[in-house]
Structure 1
């Protein structure tokens, strides 16, 4: 699939919904049946299904539908922090496509913050919320932009709300863009340092790309990432995920394309 919403013979879930409304047996749907309203718990799109449906394409559909209601809030958070909406949407789409824990899903779908905190614990290096962001990264960005300190639990409480998660994700993307430079080759020879692009910030967002605290020293480091961008192998504990993320976020990658389609339809 060139886009996370591509299925059947139609270009997007939105196109599938339109076709299914006109003719549920449209051959372009390739047998894909859109869920009925009663297939949703409490008849709400942002809830889990009561009836298991085995078509693998449904995984794309459910995640797509969940995020539809948040397009406006994603754009608002991006505007608030001066971040391209496409960059923030790409991060949210990528992270939501593979939430790391059931506890996170419970919190974001149903607002059960206390249950999620009990399940996940209170930890500055655990990823929370739709943005799958760690509190220690939020703390760095808050100190940089607002010169303020905020406790881990208070940050987690905000990350476990969609709006708070979008806000902190946008802030952290801007922090990465403003604080990381990479070496470039000049046309006349030699080198110069330049800020990373927004696409690169969506990659650096994940510690798997080498922007993180050192486990041994506790110090903040971007060296593994900048070395990678300079043409060296990525040397992190999860370098394969770093490469997958890079491929997804660059022009033509699935998350890059999905974010633009998503905002075009709903932004």
Structure 2
């Protein structure tokens, strides 16, 4: 019986020791778990760094592309296309105003400019005037006459007017014709063609005749100022190839015009 009691005591002691050990281990595990739950995990920063680098790289590529484009693209002068075959390539964005008293379209010719011709003649004109555009074209050796598309290169005479329904030049038209004659004398190899146009009022056949008569009148004025007849041609196109709509007085005034085109430099 004594031996059995001793064995029981030993077993109880071992059991208690094992229980204490397990309790201690459990407490440590719980404490470690609690500590782990209380301490936030260190954030994984590398994905954000990668995204930031990719964003900066994209921004650099975009900005460098814009810089390259700005550095290599040069402004190009655009010539307005002709409305149809045989029509002048006069800019549709021409600025000016309709004068109700005279029925004419008054062009804005730009700031005052002086053209010094080879014979010493000085012409006081506008920077955007017919004279300036014609002189600059003739004086620029790098620009040639377009022999392929003859609808291009036309310039409207911005101060040439006729009596209503007639081929009679008004008095103020003489100044511009005189300037054209002076420019042609300064470029003796140059030749031009004059084109006459009307609005769509009345019959088309009558308008065609009137436009031809007006173009011929302007041509005769130039030859009368000393320009050889073989240097000037004239043709009427009637109401064809308008620059503007004929549904307003301003549009009709713009369409009643004489245009000039250089045919030889």
Query: TM-score, with normalisation over the residues of structure 2?
Result: 0.22
Higher helix share: 1
Larger Rg: 2
Query: TM-score, with normalisation over the residues of structure 1?
Result: 0.21
Higher strand share: 2
